[in-house]
A and B are shown apart, each in its own frame.
Chain A
Amino acid sequence: MKSHSHIAWALLAVLLIAFPAMAQAFGGSFYVGFATRVLILALAATSLRLLVGELALVSFGHAAFFGTGAFVVAILSKELTAPVGLLPGTDSAWIAWPIAVMVSALLAVVIGMISLRTKGAYFIMITLAFAQMTFYLFESLKMYGGDEGINMAHRSRLGFGLDTGDNVTFYYVVLATVVLVNLLFRFLIRSPLGRVMKGIKENETRMQALGYRTYRYKLMVFAIAGAAAGLSGALLANQNSYASPSLFSWLQSGNLLIMVILGGSVNFWGGAVGAIVFCVLEEVLPHLTRFWQIAMGVLVILVVMRVPEGLTGLRWRVRVPQVGQRRSSSEVGNG
């Protein structure tokens, strides 16, 4: 089992690294940009999965952080090339991206402070409402394009001779960033904090009785997830050289949630798998049928009703029965 998964990981790594070369060899440079977008959305979906899967916090406002990250980078870039004069501008990725992450995290702390006081359905509706508020907030910034959004003159600069304007180079930049954040998340989940999260998900009252201030832990994870979503928004603004208020749209939040459920919220890779499948569907369905939104809606309903544990939750159920073998609970648990 272990060696199998090593091989699978090695294959995946080779595929991800060789993808641009393969795409170009087959004359599909377009797919480099597509793959970059998939990676960026996978990052956003993974950060949302952290909340849904590890803490059972169904945030319907994740687009708020996603959009904020995008707008921070775009605003800083605009201040450099066509200054409004409210802020100093920059096009350095080393300055703009961390600022985008920090502003998104700060927004997550503010939104989290109020919405985490509530539970269940309230939490869903409140995160949705706050995301809508950030939508109107950025849409009302007339000096930064209002509802037309912001065009960036060029992508953020990285230095070290890396030309981010080149799509293949940018693909690798995004790949490196996404891998790094995933490693960080992996580390987080296996750390003591990860165990506290598990405890909160299973029985918050008991964790409180044990002396954990669960509200603070939830706020911390909410901020981390918001920060990661902000980073992915910053990357998307770069990829498109454009930030639009539609990034804040509640449809965006809904799409991210669909990705998480499509992939499976319990599995660490659920967000990424869901993002890949969702993006491919979004690309393929319009070619198959004019009614692709209807098709998408039907698919979403079917998946949610029939496969609630998501694609990563699917297991081969066929087993060769052996004499005297009994399914032990640990075996069921390991699937």
Chain B
Amino acid sequence: MLVFLFEQLLNGVQFGLMLFLLAAGLTLVFGIMNMINLAHGSLYMIGAYLVATLTLKTDSFLFGLIGGVALTAAIGVVLEMSLLRRLYDKDHLTQVLVTFGIILIANQAVQEIWGAQPIMTSMPPSLSESVPLVGSFDYPVFRLFIIVVGLLIAALLALLITKTRVGMWIRAGAADREMARAMGANINLVFSLVFGLGAALCAIAGGLLGPLLSINVGMGESILILAFVVVVIGGIGSVQGALAGAVLVGVVDALGRALIPMALRSLPDQGLADSLASTLSAVSIYLLMALVLYWRPQGLFSR
């Protein structure tokens, strides 16, 4: 029982950290460029496809991951420089609809290139084992690997933003775009870099989740909405908020799916209990979002 809950908790943290990779890009783009980017989910999808394809081609998960991430980052930068850059001074509605148009284009393009059938990839053999974690409790190495990579990237991101020159530009751009420009920061370069960084994080999440979930054309959209929930809970523009929100959402979702059916098992009508449980666990994170917003409409870590 306890072991089962612990496993669910780890799964929740693991999924939450991947959500963080998506939410961090979204929240940075929003905080700095004041832009809502729905096409973020498309970059995640493209990243997953590229990593899977390159892994098959090179027969190495590491090369696949690096190559896929680099390519996706390049696509992100090209997208930013060619089209999205023109949206920064437009209203949110325009941004939403243009990036919605990009989703339509990306979905069909991916379907034409890779076909409509979902792609199945396998975990790299070196990580496909399970290791005993506590006593007799085994946990897949690949999921541990994802947790470690997620934490590592969160730490690197924190270092990048607080300790480096680029991070200083990013913070300056987020605080006051015009003033940062006046003080000599190359804001256009910063925007492209941030966008490329966001795209790279998307591809890492897509590449790592690929072997666990199926890779298909609509995959970017459902996870994008989860990333939005994370951003809203954490507070738009805050990277710490995104981390806290992402882990919270991941854990609440996983524990909800484990605990709610147990809690309802004592109900007399078993059929009703089952359907109630599936409904409640499907909507638990949205209820969490509603609660957080009712208490703090600007999110947990709003600036």
What is the interface of chain A, defined by CB distance below 8 A to chain B?
A: 52, 58, 60, 114-115, 117-118, 120-122, 124-126, 128-130, 132-133, 136-137, 139-143, 250-251, 254, 257-258, 261, 291, 293-294, 296-301, 304-305, 308
Option from A128, A257, A294, A300 in Cβ contact (under 8 Å) with B228: A128
C-alpha gap A80/B197 in the complex (Å): 55
Chain B residues with Cβ below 8 Å from A58 are 92-93, 96
C-alpha gap A36/B161 in the complex (Å): 55
Nearest CB of chain B from residue A304's CB, rounded to whole Å: 5
Contact B30 A300 (CB under 8 A): no
Chain B residues with Cβ below 8 Å from A299 are 101
Contact A300 B293 (CB under 8 A): no
Closest to B235 in A: A122
Chain A residues with Cβ below 8 Å from B109 are 294
Chain A residues with Cβ below 8 Å from B293 are 114-115, 117-118, 126
Closest to A292 in B: B108
B102: interface (CB < 8 Å): yes
Chain B residues with Cβ below 8 Å from A130 are 286, 290
C-alpha gap A189/B236 in the complex (Å): 34
Nearest CB of chain B from residue A59's CB, rounded to whole Å: 11
Contact A300 B278 (CB under 8 A): no
Contact A305 B98 (CB under 8 A): yes
Chain A residues with Cβ below 8 Å from B30 are 121
Contact A254 B100 (CB under 8 A): yes
Contact A297 B102 (CB under 8 A): yes
Contact B294 A114 (CB under 8 A): yes
Chain B residues with Cβ below 8 Å from A126 are 232, 289, 293
Chain B residues with Cβ below 8 Å from A308 are 94
Count chain B CB atoms within 10 A of each CB in A122, A137, A251, A300 and give the residue with the most.
Answer: A122
Option from A118, A296, A304 in Cβ contact (under 8 Å) with B104: A296
C-alpha gap A257/B109 in the complex (Å): 23
Known A117-B297, A141-B275, A143-B275: A304·B94 in contact at CB below 8 Å: yes
Contact A140 B275 (CB under 8 A): yes
Chain A residues with Cβ below 8 Å from B290 are 114, 130
Known A121-B236, A125-B228: A137·B96 in contact at CB below 8 Å: no
Chain B residues with Cβ below 8 Å from A122 are 232, 236, 297-298
Option from B96, B101, B231 in Cβ contact (under 8 Å) with A298: B101
Contact A137 B103 (CB under 8 A): no
Closest to A302 in B: B101
Nearest CB of chain A from residue B14's CB, rounded to whole Å: 21
Chain B residues with Cβ below 8 Å from A141 are 275, 279
Given contacts A121-B92, A124-B36, 4 further A-B contacts (CB under 8 A): A60-B96, A118-B298, A139-B282, A297-B101
Contact B112 A291 (CB under 8 A): yes
Contact B232 A125 (CB under 8 A): yes
Can you list 23 A-B contacts with CB-CB less than 8 angstroms, sorted by A residue number? A58-B92, A58-B93, A117-B297, A122-B236, A126-B289, A126-B293, A128-B228, A129-B289, A130-B286, A133-B286, A133-B287, A136-B283, A136-B286, A140-B275, A140-B283, A141-B279, A251-B221, A254-B97, A257-B96, A257-B97, A261-B97, A291-B108, A294-B109
Chain A residues with Cβ below 8 Å from B228 are 125, 128-129
Closest to A293 in B: B108
Known A297-B102, A304-B97: A129·B286 in contact at CB below 8 Å: yes
Chain A residues with Cβ below 8 Å from B225 are 128-129, 132, 250
Chain B residues with Cβ below 8 Å from A117 are 293-294, 297
